[in-house]
């Protein structure tokens, strides 16, 4: 959409400048607000979102532009840097480039003038007192397309139309092999038995077929994007899948020839990944690729399993909050021997990667020991498990310069671990990892548990998987103490993860940090859960990010919900410390805030002033529940 000199956002820009001028302020944080508003008002119509002060890797160190503009695929498309009106703008630009600021598509401005750089060279100077020049600047800024990113977008669109047919072809090859390929039949039966004992006793043959298809379609990406040619050999689960694939291809099926039809998609992804500025960018990118993969490959699977990964500002806020509580309440750091951490539903490993960076910053000498001994994560879906393994191991390599497998990662259903029996967990190596995790004295539980009832099950007929121990614990606590007549929702997966977490601390002091569906905050059926949360923990913080489309028809899940879903979302930090119980702190963001407003707010809440702050920057309201456990 073309921007004209009469665009309302430009008029608002001048009005904001006039308002700031009346206040006689010249420092950058104040004067930048006008241009920030201009970008916020115009970015959305071009499919971009302004993210304030998000750090990226520069040439010499991490850098933090005032704004990064990202597209719907989360790829960075442009940057903005504001300076004081008293600064020498040219000199400031030279300083920023010397520190490694990107030259791809970046605006430098001091309220009076703007300089645009694109493709490594200056693309123009603009007078910010002239509406026509402002419009010209913005039109050129938003119209810029880097070749590889453009190629990626085109590849994604073609992938969405091509891949269903391609995956159907793979399924036909597998179905035929089930009938005619004895070597495949033996290998598949052995692998399926392992899946039943490790993941789900009710798992279907169709579900295991899906795993093989997912592996076949994405194994190249695992190797190329992460530059890890030995992935299938190093990863304890990928090696088992490859045995079945080898049996599948032992007759007439040619793997490389068949997947050659997706060369355009692979090459577009690989080329785009090479141009990203650092590993955190690659991590965000591969999460997006994974979401796009499922949306193209299997829309129904993506919907059933909640294939949406935690936005980075939420991850950063939650990790900073854990770090803050450890310091304020326990006088500890993430690297201390008393701190043992688990992400029970790790997805692609974002929380663990974030924590690794924080531990390295706090105490580099302790990182290796924490990585090997006191850091754990679980995942039950094959592809995110692969990506998590690569993400975490590569992050450790970036921090230390040494490769080491992340042996704290298990391919397992966390809710199965409450069983007292010795279960088999797919492979000997994976079983050893699980047993070591079960013996660990966990003190911090952090993550994004599944919010959809069907999350663990690859086929729609097995949605209501039973977990004997956890279901019984929910029954004898949350359900028993509920006055509601309908209690089915109390068995939602995220609720079971709260119950599991409180029990997994095993009486120890500790922290549970989850981002979840937050229907439990006020729905009647969760009154028993609310009672037990305050009985299990000393302090419960709940940051309500709202976004429940069913309760407010004025909002949309795609524009107002941080996950793009229909139910409300919240961040809960539950702290157990000593004998005290029941303190409740609550904050709710404005109901009509859009997704970018909420994520921007979370980013602003995390400040570094000698240490990380998150919870201390939120304006909390102390709540006193009534006798019905109403919050």
pLDDT in tens, 196-223: 776 667 778 888 888 888 788 877 877 7
Please report which confidence band the pLDDT of residue 306 belongs to, taking 50, 70 and 90 as the band edges: very low
What is the average pLDDT across 321-340?
A: 96
**Does 305 have pLDDT greater than 50?**
no
What is the average pLDDT across 358-385?
A: 92
pLDDT in tens, 591-627: 889 888 898 889 888 865 444 578 988 999 999 998 8
State how far the Cα of 22 lies from the Cα of 203, in Å rounded to an integer: 67
**Does 123 have pLDDT greater than 80?**
yes
pLDDT value at residue 474: 95
Sign of the dihedral defined by the CA atoms of residues 556, 559, 565, 570, in that order: negative
What is the average pLDDT across 258-265?
A: 78
pLDDT in tens, 451-462: 754 444 434 443
Q: Indicate the SS3 state at residue 26.
A: coil
Query: In whole angstroms, how far apart are CA 251 and each of 176, 186, 238?
Result: 11, 14, 21
What is the average pLDDT across 301-315?
A: 65
What is the signed CA dihedral for 570, 541, 503, 428, rounded to 10 degrees? 50
pLDDT value at residue 224: 74
Is the distance from CB of 354 to CB of 388 less than 8 angstroms? no
* 297 vs 401, more confident: 401
State how far the Cα of 486 lies from the Cα of 187, in Å rounded to an integer: 45
Closest Cα to residue 39, out of 146, 150, 128?
128
* 195 vs 39, more confident: 39
Q: Under 8 Å CB-to-CB from 332, ≥6 apart: which residues?
A: 326, 338, 339
pLDDT value at residue 302: 47
**Does 479 have pLDDT greater than 80?**
yes
Closest Cα to residue 572, out of 539, 523, 535, 621?
539
**Does 58 have pLDDT greater than 60?**
no
End-to-end, the C-alpha distance of the chain in Å comes to: 45
pLDDT value at residue 553: 80
| Mean pLDDT, all residues of the chain | 84
pLDDT value at residue 452: 53
pLDDT value at residue 269: 79
**Does 403 have pLDDT greater than 90?**
no
pLDDT value at residue 169: 82
State how far the Cα of 450 lies from the Cα of 460, in Å rounded to an integer: 16
Helix (H) or strand (E) holding 372: helix 367-373
User: Cβ of 486: how many Cβ atoms within 10 Å?
Assistant: 9
State how far the Cα of 77 lies from the Cα of 324, in Å rounded to an integer: 33
pLDDT in tens, 515-568: 999 999 989 999 999 999 999 999 999 999 988 888 888 887 778 888 878 889
Pairing of strands 113-118, 105-109: antiparallel
pLDDT value at residue 425: 56
- What the block records as the tokens of 256 is 């490389």
Looking at 326-340, 344-358, 480-494, which range is the least confident one? 480-494
Residue % of the chain over a pLDDT of 70 = 85
DSSP3 helix / strand / coil % (the chain, rounded to 5): 55, 15, 35
Is the distance from CB of 574 to CB of 584 less than 8 angstroms? no
pLDDT value at residue 266: 81
State how far the Cα of 206 lies from the Cα of 218, in Å rounded to an integer: 18
Residue % of the chain over a pLDDT of 90 = 39
Please report which confidence band the pLDDT of residue 289 belongs to, taking 50, 70 and 90 as the band edges: confident
State how far the Cα of 515 lies from the Cα of 445, in Å rounded to an integer: 12
pLDDT value at residue 59: 43
pLDDT value at residue 60: 47
């Amino acid at each position: 959409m073309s921007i004209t000199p009469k665009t309302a956002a430009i008029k608002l820009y001048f009005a904001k400048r006039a308002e700031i001028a009346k206040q006689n302020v010249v420092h950058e944080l104040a004067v930048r607000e006008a241009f920030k508003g201009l970008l916020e008002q115009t970015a959305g119509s071009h499919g971009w979102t302004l993210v304030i002060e998000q750090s990226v890797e520069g040439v010499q160190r991490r850098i933090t532009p005032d704004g990064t503009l990202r597209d719907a695929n989360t790829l960075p498309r442009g940057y903005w840097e504001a300076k004081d009106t008293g600064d020498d703008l040219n000199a400031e630009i030279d300083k920023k480039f010397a520190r490694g600021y990107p030259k791809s598509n970046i605006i430098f401005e001091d309220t009076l003038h703007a300089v645009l750089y694109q493709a490594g060279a200056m693309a123009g100077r603009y007078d910010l007192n002239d509406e026509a020049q402002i419009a010209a600047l913005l039109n050129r800024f938003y119209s810029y397309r880097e070749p590889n990113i453009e190629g990626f977008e085109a590849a994604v669109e073609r992938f969405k139309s091509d891949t269903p047919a391609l995956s159907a072809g793979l399924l036909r090859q597998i179905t035929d092999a089930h009938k005619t390929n004895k070597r495949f039949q033996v290998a598949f039966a052995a692998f399926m038995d392992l899946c039943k004992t490790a993941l789900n006793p009710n798992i279907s043959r169709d579900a295991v077929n899906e795993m093989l298809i997912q592996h076949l379609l994405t194994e190249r990406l695992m190797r190329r994007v992460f530059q890890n040619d030995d992935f299938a050999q190093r990863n304890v689960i990928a090696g088992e899948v490859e045995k079945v694939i080898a049996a599948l291809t032992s007759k007439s099926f040619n793997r490389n020839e068949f997947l050659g039809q997706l060369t355009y998609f692979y090459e577009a992804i690989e080329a785009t990944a090479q141009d990203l500025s650092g590993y955190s960018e690659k991590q965000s990118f591969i999460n997006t690729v994974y979401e796009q993969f499922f949306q193209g490959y299997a829309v129904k699977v993506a919907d059933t399993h909640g294939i949406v990964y935690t936005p980075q500002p939420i991850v950063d806020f939650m990790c900073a909050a854990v770090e803050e509580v450890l310091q304020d309440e326990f006088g500890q750091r993430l690297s201390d021997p008393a701190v043992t951490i688990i992400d029970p539903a790790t997805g692609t490993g974002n929380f663990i990667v974030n924590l690794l960076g924080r531990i390295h910053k706090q105490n580099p000498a302790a990182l290796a020991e924490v990585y090997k001994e006191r850091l754990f994560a679980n995942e039950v879906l094959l592809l995110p498990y692969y990506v998590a393994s690569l993400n975490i191991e590569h992050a450790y390599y970036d921090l230390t310069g040494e490769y080491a497998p992340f042996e704290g990662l298990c391919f397992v259903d966390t809710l199965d671990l409450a069983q007292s029996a010795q279960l088999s967990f797919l492979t000997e190596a994976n079983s050893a990892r699980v047993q070591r995790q079960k013996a660990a004295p966990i003190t911090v539980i952090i993550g994004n548990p599944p919010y959809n009832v069907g999350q663990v099950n690859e086929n729609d007929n097995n949605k209501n998987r039973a977990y004997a121990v956890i279901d019984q614990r929910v029954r004898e606590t949350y359900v028993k103490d509920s006055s509601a007549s309908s209690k089915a929702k109390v068995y939602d997966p995220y609720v079971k993860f709260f119950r599991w977490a409180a029990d997994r601390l095993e009486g120890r002091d500790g922290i549970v940090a989850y981002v979840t569906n937050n229907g439990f905050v006020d729905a009647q059926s969760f009154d028993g859960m609310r009672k037990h949360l305050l009985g299990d923990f000393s302090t419960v913080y709940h940051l309500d990010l709202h976004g429940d489309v069913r309760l407010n028809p004025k909002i949309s899940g795609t524009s107002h919900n941080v996950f793009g879903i229909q139910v409300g979302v919240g961040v809960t930090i539950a702290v157990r410390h000593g004998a005290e119980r029941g303190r409740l702190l609550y904050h709710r963001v404005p109901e009509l805030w859009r997704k970018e407003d909420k994520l921007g707010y979370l980013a602003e809440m995390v400040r570094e002033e000698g240490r990380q702050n998150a919870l201390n920057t939120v304006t909390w309201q102390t709540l006193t529940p009534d006798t019905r456990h109403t919050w």
